[in-house]
C-alpha cells in the first residue's frame, strides 16, 4: 500500500520536519529544536500538531440514531448534549477495544474522531451495525489540527473570536476567512487546547496563521511523551482488541447507565470484569534511576515471578524522570508496590505509580 501524506506534508517539510511512517502516513516526528524542546514548549506555551491522519466520521440521522449507536459504543448517547464530546470505544464480542474514539453530538447527528490505523475498519463496523439506515461519511477532504498548551486559548481567540468561551470536551461551529470550521476544546497532551477540523484547501493558510502567532510545530515524538506523562493510552500499544476497558483502567469512560444496563457488544465480558473477575490492571510505573522501560519489558514481583509487562515507556521531560505504563496482576496494582523490570537482561527496581504522572491542566 502506498504511504499517504496529509495536506500539510509540504509545509512540514518547509519547517524542517523529520518524517517517519505512522499508521500508513508519512508523519513529522520532530523538527530542528528536538523532541524535548517541543514537549516543553507545549507545556509552557502553545504547540501545533497535525493530526489529519486520524479519521473524521460523521453520521446523520433521526432520533433512533443514538439508540442504534449505543449498541456498539458504551456511552449514554441519549443524554449527551448538542456540541458535547465524550471519550469512548468500539468494543468487540470479547469485550476488547477495537478502537478508542471521541464522539461529539452535533445538530444532525454525531461526529466521531477515529484512530488512523483503525479508521477503515471502524467505518466497516459502524456501517454494518447501522445497516445503512443513516448517512455515514468518512471525510477525506478534512484536516485536523490540534493546538495545545496554556497559551492556546489566547492565541486562537485572536484568530477566531469566541473560541475561548468553549468548555473542556465541548465544541461548536466557527468561521475563518469565510471557511466553516468545527472546533472542540480537547486534545491528547494533558494541557488546555483545541482540535480544529478544517478543509484540506485552507489548512496550510490556517497553520501559517498559527505559526505567525508564536506557535511552534510539534511532531509525533513529543506527542507521545506528552500523552504518556498525562497517563493517556496509545491504541495498539496500551489498549487493543484483547484489552477490556476495565483492565485498561478506563471504567470511567463507560457511563453509569451503560455499566448497569449493558446492551452493547462485549457487555458480558465487561460486566464480568466489573463484578470481580478482573485479573490484571493498567498502572503507572516509575523505574528507579535512569533506565527507560520500553514496550515489551517484563515486570516481576520481589520473589522473581513474572506479573506483567510494559506497554509504553519514555523519559518525561516535565516530570524529569523515567516513566512507563503497563499491565500487572491485580494484587500487585496498588501504588507504591515494589516491582522489578527486566531491561537488557538485568533486573531494575521500580514502583507502581498512580496515573497521571503530570497534573492535567484542562479548562472545565
CATH of the domain at 258: 2.40.30.110
Residues of the chain with pLDDT > 70, as a percent, come to 100
Together in a domain, 224 and 346 = no
pLDDT tens, position by position, 10-61 = 999 999 999 999 999 999 999 999 999 999 999 999 999 999 999 999 999 9
CA 179 vs. chain centroid, Å, equals: 27
Residue pLDDT, tens place only, 113-138: 999 999 999 999 999 999 888 999 99
Residue 363 confidence (pLDDT) above 90: no
Residue 194 is assigned to a structural domain of this protein: yes
Residue 236 lies in a domain: no
Residue 46, pLDDT score: 98
Q: How far apart are CA 57 and CA 211, in angstroms?
A: 28
Q: Is the domain of 72 the same as that of 217?
A: no
Range of 311's domain? 251-353
Residue 113 belongs to a domain with what CATH number?
Answer: 3.30.70.1400
**14 three-state secondary structure:** helix
Q: Render pLDDT for 209-263 as a digit per residue (tens, 0 to 9).
A: 999 999 999 999 999 999 999 999 999 999 999 999 999 999 999 999 999 999 9
Please report the pLDDT score of residue 199 as a whole number.
Answer: 98
pLDDT at 62: 84
Q: What's the average model confidence in pLDDT over 271-280? A: 96
- Helix, coil or strand: residue 231: coil
pLDDT of residue 252: 96
Kindly report, residue by residue over 178-189, the tens digit of the pLDDT: 999 999 999 999
- Decide if 242 is inside a domain: no
What's the pLDDT score for residue 197? 98
196 lies in the same domain as 338:
no
Report pLDDT for 196: 98
Q: What is the pLDDT of residue 169?
A: 98
Measured distance CA(316)–CA(229) in Å, rounded: 6
Q: pTM for the whole thing?
A: 0.96
Q: Note whether 96 and 180 are same-domain residues.
A: no
Task: Work out the burial of residue 336: count CB atoms within 10 Å of its CB; fewer than 13 is exposed, 13-18 middle, 19 or more buried.
Answer: exposed
Domain co-membership, 40 together with 175: yes
The pLDDT tens digits of the residues spanning 136-161 come to: 999 999 999 999 999 999 999 999 99
- Over 80: is that where the pLDDT of 364 sits? no
Query: Mean pLDDT across the chain, nearest whole number?
Result: 97
2 assigned to some structural domain: no
Looking at the fold, whether 215 and 93 belong to one and the same domain comes out as: no
Per-position DSSP letters for 145-202, written without gaps between them: EEEESTTHHHHHHHHSTTGGGPPTTBEEEEEETTEEEEEES--SSSS-EEEEEEEHHH
Which strands form 97-106's sheet, in the order they lie side by side? 85-91, 97-106, 109-114, 55-60, 135-138
The answer to whether position 361 is within a domain reads: no
Number of domains in the chain: 3
- The residue out of 177, 196, 229 marking a domain boundary is 229
- For residues 19 and 119, membership in a common domain is answered with no
Whether the Cβ atoms of residue 327 and residue 254 lie closer than 8 Å to each other: no
257 and 349 together in one domain: yes
Q: Supply the pLDDT for residue 213.
A: 97
Q: What is the pLDDT of residues 187-209, one digit of tens each?
A: 999 999 999 999 999 999 999 99
pLDDT on residue 250: 98
83 and 157 fall within a common domain = no
Q: Are residues 168 and 297 in the same domain?
A: no
Is 155 within 8 Å of 210 (Cβ atoms)? yes
CATH number of domain containing 178: 3.30.1360.120
Q: Which of 174, 197, 229 is the last residue of a domain?
A: 229
Angle between helices 200-212 and 152-159 (to 10 degrees): 120
Amino acid at each position: 500500500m502506498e504511504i499517504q501524506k496529509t495536506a500539510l506534508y509540504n509545509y512540514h517539510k518547509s519547517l524542517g520536519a523529520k518524517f517517519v511512517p505512522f499508521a500508513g502516513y508519512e508523519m513529522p516526528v520532530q523538527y530542528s529544536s528536538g523532541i524535548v524542546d517541543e514537549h516543553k514548549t507545549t507545556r509552557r506555551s502553545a504547540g501545533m500538531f497535525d493530526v489529519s491522519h486520524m479519521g473524521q466520521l460523521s453520521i446523520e440521522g433521526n432520533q433512533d440514531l443514538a439508540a442504534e449507536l449505543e449498541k456498539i459504543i458504551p456511552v449514554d448517547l441519549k443524554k449527551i448534549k448538542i456540541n458535547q464530546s465524550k471519550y469512548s470505544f468500539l468494543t468487540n464480542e470479547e469485550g476488547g477495544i477495537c478502537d478508542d474514539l471521541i464522539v461529539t453530538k452535533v445538530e444532525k447527528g454525531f461526529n466521531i474522531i477515529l484512530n488512523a490505523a483503525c479508521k477503515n475498519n471502524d467505518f466497516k463496523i459502524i456501517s454494518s451495525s447501522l445497516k445503512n439506515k443513516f448517512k455515514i461519511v468518512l471525510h477525506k477532504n478534512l484536516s485536523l489540527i490540534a493546538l495545545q498548551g496554556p497559551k492556546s486559548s489566547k492565541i486562537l481567540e485572536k484568530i477566531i473570536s469566541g473560541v475561548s468561551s468553549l468548555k473542556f470536551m465541548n465544541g461548536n461551529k466557527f468561521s475563518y476567512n469565510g471557511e466553516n470550521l468545527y472546533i472542540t476544546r480537547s486534545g491528547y497532551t494533558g494541557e488546555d487546547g483545541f482540535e480544529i477540523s478544517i478543509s484540506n484547501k485552507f489548512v496550510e493558510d490556517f497553520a501559517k496563521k498559527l505559526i505567525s502567532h508564536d506557535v511552534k510545530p510539534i511532531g509525533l515524538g513529543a506527542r507521545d511523551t506528552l500523552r504518556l506523562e498525562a497517563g493517556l493510552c496509545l491504541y495498539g500499544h496500551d489498549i487493543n482488541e484483547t484489552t477490556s476497558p476495565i483492565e485498561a483502567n478506563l471504567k470511567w469512560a463507560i457511563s453509569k447507565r451503560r455499566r448497569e444496563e449493558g446492551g452493547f457488544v462485549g457487555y458480558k465480558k465487561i460486566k464480568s470484569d466489573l463484578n470481580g473477575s478482573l485479573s490484571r490492571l493498567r498502572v503507572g510505573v516509575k523505574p528507579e534511576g535512569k533506565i527507560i522501560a520500553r514496550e515489551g519489558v517484563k515486570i516481576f514481583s520481589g520473589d522473581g515471578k513474572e506479573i506483567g509487562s510494559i506497554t509504553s515507556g519514555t523519559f518525561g521531560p516535565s516530570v524529569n524522570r523515567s516513566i512507563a505504563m503497563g499491565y500487572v496482576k491485580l494484587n500487585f496494582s496498588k501504588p507504591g508496590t515494589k516491582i522489578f523490570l527486566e531491561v537488557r537482561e538485568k533486573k531494575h527496581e521500580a514502583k507502581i505509580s498512580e496515573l497521571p504522572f503530570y497534573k492535567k491542566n484542562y479548562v472545565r
